[in-house]
A and B are shown apart, each in its own frame.
Chain A
Amino acid sequence: MLGWEFPPAKTGGLGTHCYELVKNLGAKNVNVILLIPKRSQNVKYNIPNVEIEEVGSVPIMPYNSTRESTTTFEKGYGWNFFKEVEVFNKKCVDAALKKKFDLIHCHDWITMNAGIEIKRMTGKPLIVTVHSTEYDRTANIYPLNNIIDVEKRGCQEADLIITVSKQMKQQLIERYGADEKKIKVIYNGINASKYFGLTSKDEKNIVLFLGRLTNQKGPWFFLHTAKKVLEKKKDVTFVVAGQGDKLAELIKLSFDLGIGDHTLFTGYLSEEEINYAYAMAKVYVMPSVAEPYGITALEAVASGTPVIVSKTAGVAEEIKHCFKVDFWDTHEMANEILGILNYPVLGECMRKNGYTEIQKFGWNRTADQTIDAYRSVL
C-alpha cells in the first residue's frame, strides 16, 4: 500500500483513513506493507501484520492541511512540492520491487504514478482509492492540469477504484470517464469510542466551523449564516477553527458584517483542542461547497454534537440523524441553528440517535469491504 500522510504527520481524512485501514486490515490477517514518505516526526507504530517503511530522506510536510501550518501548500503547490512528490514516487517503485506482494493499493493522485509504474513492472493488480479530486480541493477554481492528468490516468490504469462516496463515484465517471463497473464505494469509518464522554455542554451557545479556510469548505456561508442567527439571538458565539489562505479575508468579512464581537477565529488547533471544540459546541456546521466525504461530521456526532452538513458532502449519503442543507442556503442553516439553540430537546434527540447510528460506521466495516474489493481483483 502506498500512502502519503500517516499519524503523527496527519492532517486530514487521508491520514486517519490509512492508519485505521491498515490497523483493521492487519487485525483481519491481511499482511500490509505500507510505504510512506519520511517525515520530520518519525512514525512509531507497532501494528500486527503491518510493516511500515518510510522511503525518501527529505522530510515532507503533508498536503491538504486542515490542521497544521504548511505554508508551502496553502499558498499553492510550489515547485519543490512537485519535485518531492516525484522523488517519493520513484523511491516507492524501487522499494516495492524488493518486496513480495499480491496487489498494489494506492491513495489519491499523490501516489498514483508509483502505483501505475509498479503495476507495469510486476503485472500485479492495482487498486486506487480516490479520497478527493483536484476539482474538490480547489472548489473548481483553477484546478491544476498536471494533477488532473495523474488522476485521470490512475482511473484508467486501475483494476479497481474505491471511492469514499457515491457522489465521488459519479464525479469520476463524469470528469475522468472512469468505467462505472470498476468503481466500488466504501465509506470512511469512525472510531467513535475515541470521542465518547467528551460532551461538556454548558450554558454558552457555541456554533462551530472546523476546516481549512478555503473556497472548498465554504466558510463564507458560515459567516453569513452567523449574521442571520445573530439578528434573532444575541448570545451566540461562532467559532471558526482551522486556518488557510482565506483567514485574513474572513476576519475582515466578520467585521464588515458587524459580527466581529461574536466571531472567534482560533487558527491552528491541536488534535486535543479539536476534540474539545467539538464537545463544547452546541452545533457543528459543515457548509462545504465540495466535500468528497467529510469525516469531521462523524467526529462531531461521536462527540455528541448535532451537525448540519452540506447536501453535497459524501457523509450526507450515509448519516440520517442530522440536518442536510444546500451550502448556499444561509436562511435554512440559520433557521436550523436557532432551532437547535432554542429547543434543547431537538439537540438531545439528534445526539442520542446520532450516537447510536454511528456505531454502525466502524473502520471494521471499511476494512471488511476493502478485503472484498481485494478478493475481487485477485
Chain B
Amino acid sequence: MTSICFYFQVHQPVRLNRFNIFNGSNAYFDETKNKNIIEKVSNKCYIPTNNILLDLIDQYKNKFKIAFSLTGVFIEQCQKYAPHVIESFKQLANTGNVEFLSETYYHSLSALFSQKEFEEQIKLHRNLINDLFGQKSEVFRNTEAMYSNGIAKIIENLGYKGIIAEGHEKVLSWRSPNYLYKPTGCENIVSLLRNYKLSDDIGFRFSAKWWEEYPLTADKYATWLSKCEGDCVNLFIDYETFGEHQWQDTGIFEFLRHLPNEVFKYKNLDFKTPSEIVKSYNPVGSIDVPYVLSWADVDRDASAWLENDMQRFAFEQMTKLEEKIKQNPELLKIWRMLQTSDHFYYMCTKWFADGDVHKYFNAYDSPYDAFINYMNVLQDIKNRLGV
C-alpha cells in the first residue's frame, strides 16, 4: 500500500505600507492592500477549494484525507477581513479527516537566528490552532520547509513526532522521497519528504503548455501515483495553486474534484494525513542535513531570503533588536511581523533566473524598493525603541 499525503500551505504576509520617511505618521502596514488580497484570494481560491474538499470528504467519508498548515498571520487577517474563511476551515476540521500542522506563527525566519524566538512562535501558533480547531498536531512544518539537523533536533525536543522537509537529491542522492527517514542526531522524530516532482506537476506545471504531459488529467496523474514505489507520496503544495496560481480556467478545480475517484480505482493507493503516515510507517534510513534545506526555487536553500547583502543587512538589523524589543509588548508584535519571510523574499535579486514566478509575488517594483521600505519601517521602530 502506498499512501498519498496531501498537505496544503496557506499563507498571506501582512504587506508593508509604502513607508516614506517624509510622512512619519504613516501606518506600517497596508490595510487596504492586505484586505483586498485576502478578499480576492478567498473568492478565487480558499472558499471554492474548501468547498470542493468538503464535498469530497462528504462523498468518500474516511477514505479521503488532507492536511493544512495555516500561518498565524494568515488567520489573523482572515479574522479581520474574511471571517467566513475561518468558518470554512473549521468545517473542514470538524469532519475529522483534516489535520492542521504546526509551524511558526509569523511564517518567520526565526529558526535561523534565535532558538528562543523560534520556540515562542511555535507555541503561539500551537495555541491558536488548538483554540480554533481543537487540534495539537504532532507534525511540524517550518517556514518554506526550512530544515536542518539542528532544526529537527529542536523540534524533536519540543515533542513532535514528524517534520516536513524537501525530498531533494542533494539530501537523498539515489534514495526515494517516498519513505520516512530519521534526521541525523535524532531518535524520536521522523522526516516526511516532499515528492517535489509530483508536487510541482500540480503546483507549477499544471497549465504549462510547453510541458510534454500537458494537459494533466486526474486519471493520468492517478496512474503515475499508482506506479510509485514506497510507503508514502508526499504532495506538499501551496494552497493558492488552486484558483490563484493556476486559474479556474486551467481546469485545476475539475482536476481536484476528480482525483480521489481516479485514485480509488487503484487498490494499492489510499490517503493519509501526515500524523497517520508517521504512525503507520517506519523510517528506512537517515538523512544528514548540516545546512539549511528548503523547498524554494532551484537552489533549495535559504538564498531566496538571505543571499544578497541587503537581505543580510536588513535581517541582521532586525534580529539585533530581540532582547530590547521583548520588553516592549506593543512593538514586539510589529517586530515579529517584520520577521515574515516574504519581506526578505521581496529583496531577492536572483529573480532574473527564476523568472516570472517570483515577479508575480513581488509587492514592490524592485528589490531595492523593498529594501528601503523595510529599512524605513525598521528605523522608525528603532527610534521608538530608543536604539
Contact = CB atoms under 8 A, between A and B. Distances in A.
Interface of A: 228, 231-232, 320-324, 331-332, 334-336, 338-339, 342-343, 345-346, 348-350, 353
Interface string B347-380: 0010010000000000001111101100110000
B310 A349 contact: yes
Contacts of A338: 21
B282 interface: no
Given A324-B365, A335-B22, A349 B309 contact: yes
B305 to A, nearest CB: 15
B94 interface: no
A324 B309 CA distance: 21
**What class of interface size applies to chain B in its complex with A?**
20 to 34
Given A323-B366, A332-B20, A353-B349, 17 more contacts: A231-B22, A321-B366, A321-B368, A323-B369, A331-B22, A335-B376, A336-B368, A336-B369, A339-B375, A342-B375, A343-B371, A343-B375, A345-B310, A346-B368, A346-B372, A348-B309, A349-B309
Interface of B: 20-23, 308-310, 312-313, 349, 352, 365-369, 371-372, 375-376
B233 to A, nearest CB: 39
Contact of B313 (A323, A334, A335, A345): A345
B372 A339 contact: yes
Given A320-B352, A345-B313, A346-B310, A331 B20 contact: yes
A349 B368 contact: yes
A353 B307 CA distance: 13
Contact of B366 (A320, A332, A335, A342): A320
A353 B351 CA distance: 11
Contacts of B375: 339, 342-343
A350 B367 CA distance: 10
A324 B22 contact: no
A321 B372 CA distance: 14
Nearest to B372: A339
Contacts of A353: 349
Contacts of A342: 375
Nearest to A353: B349
Nearest to A323: B368
Contacts of B349: 321, 349, 353
A281 B273 CA distance: 59
Nearest to B375: A343
11 contacts: A322-B368, A331-B23, A336-B368, A338-B21, A339-B368, A342-B375, A343-B371, A343-B375, A345-B309, A346-B368, A353-B349
A322 B367 CA distance: 9
A320 B313 CA distance: 21
A90 B365 CA distance: 49
Contact of A339 (B308, B352, B371): B371
A222 to B, nearest CB: 17
A283 to B, nearest CB: 12
B235 to A, nearest CB: 34
A225 to B, nearest CB: 11
A353 B313 CA distance: 17
A349 B352 contact: no
A228 B366 contact: no
B366 A349 contact: no
Contact of A349 (B20, B22, B23, B308): B308
Contacts of A336: 368-369, 372
Contacts of B367: 349
A132 to B, nearest CB: 26
Nearest to B308: A349
A344 to B, nearest CB: 9
Nearest to B365: A324
A198 to B, nearest CB: 22
Given A343-B313, A343-B371, A346-B371, A335 B20 contact: yes
Contacts of A332: 20
Given A324-B366, A346-B368, A349-B368, A335 B308 contact: no
Contacts of A348: 309
A224 B352 CA distance: 34
A343 B378 CA distance: 13
B381 to A, nearest CB: 16
A321 B366 CA distance: 8
Nearest to B317: A343
A263 B365 CA distance: 30
Residue of B310, B313, B365, B372 most packed against chain A (CB within 10 A):
B372
A336 B365 CA distance: 13
A320 B310 CA distance: 16
A335 B21 contact: yes
Contacts of B312: 345
Contacts of A335: 20-22, 372, 376
A342 B379 CA distance: 11
